[in-house]
Each structure stands twice: as C-alpha cells, then as structure tokens.
Amino acid sequence: MDPNITLDGYADGDAVKEEVTKVFHVGLLCTQEISSFRPSVSRALQMLLDREKQPPAPTKPPFTDDATMELNETKEDIDWPRDPSSVANVSTGSFDPR
C-alpha cells in the first residue's frame, strides 16, 4: 500500500487502513497464478465482509525478484541500465505468400 496516501478527515484512520489492506490482500489471493489457490467469488466476499479474521497469506508470485521488492525503493536505487536503447533489441519480419 502506498504510504503517501493520507487518511486526513477520517475519524478512525487505522480502521480505514486495515480495510484497504484487506482489499489488496484479497485481490492478491484472487490473482494467484495457480487457479486452485484462488478463492471463489463467494469466499472472496466472505473474506472481505468478515471483520474479525485476516485472510490467508497469498503465495509469492513466480516472477518476482527479491532484490527489486524492497520497501520504499525508487528507480534510482535499482541498478537499471541508464541508456534506454540498451534495454531490448527488437527485430521484425514478415511472411509473404509466393
């Protein structure tokens, strides 16, 4: 969750933050790569409406890199190539009928 989001004007900012975190958490559960790990729609709604329980933890996405998952990192912190033209090489081709 973006720490820059302000909760000014809310009487109970912590409760709002918990609800937003729960929505993100359930969203992550619903988008897991392995479909059998995803909750059904009714189960997702039940998790969102249940005020007492925390949803189960989602599995780690298969495409993440621990080095790029640091909290509060910026692009400058990551060792990205500085020259954008060196990021990828693309070639195109076409097939024409005889």
What pLDDT score does 41 carry?
94
For the chain, the structural domain boundaries read: 18-55
Q: Give, in order, the Cα–Cα distances in Å from 78 to each of 5, 75, 86.
A: 23, 5, 16
pLDDT score for 75: 52
Per 3-state DSSP, the chain is made up of helix, strand and coil in percentages (nearest 5) of 40, 0, 60
User: What's residue 43's pLDDT?
Assistant: 93
For the segment 17-39, what is each residue's pLDDT rounded down to a tens digit? 888 889 988 999 998 888 898 99
pLDDT in tens, 34-92: 889 899 999 999 999 987 788 888 887 766 666 655 555 455 555 555 555 555 666 77
